[in-house]
Amino acid sequence: MICLRCGWCCINLEVVIPKEGIDFDNIDFDIEDSWCMKHTGDVCPHLLEQDGKAFCKLHHYPWFQDTPCGQYTQIGREDAECRMGRAIMDGRLPGVVITSGKGNEEE
């Protein structure tokens, strides 16, 4: 699935994420203290806005693909756009506004 970076997941999903403040260059995923929960509705602390799109500041790390976020996908072709992201970007579903690291539900 191709993420269109609408930001919905990084605010609305309940997901385990690498804990903020740890050394991301020397992360040890076997240590429970490396992880924390991001609850539904909470803006992920790793989420930033860049040119109107969601930007994850962890995506470039080589270990990112092994995290729950990196493994996240939907049923369908690997090279297909995210259906929910497309609906949000086209205004068919309410989206999110990401401002300076903060995201808020749009009316």
Task: List the Cα angle 75/11/52 in 5-degree steps.
Answer: 95
Among residues 90, 89, 91, the alpha carbon closest in space to that of 7 is found at 89
Per-residue contact string for residues 28-47; x = within reach of ligand SF4 by CB under 6 A: ----------x-----x-xx
* Calpha distance 19→22 (Å, rounded): 6
Q: Does residue number 7 form part of the binding site for ligand SF4 (CB under 6 A)?
A: yes
State which of residues 49, 69, 98, 103 lies at the interface with ligand SF4 (CB under 6 A): 69
Q: Does residue number 96 form part of the binding site for ligand SF4 (CB under 6 A)?
A: no
* Calpha distance 92→8 (Å, rounded): 14
Q: Does residue number 103 form part of the binding site for ligand SF4 (CB under 6 A)?
A: no
Closer residue to ligand SF4, CB minimum distance, 29 or 58: 58
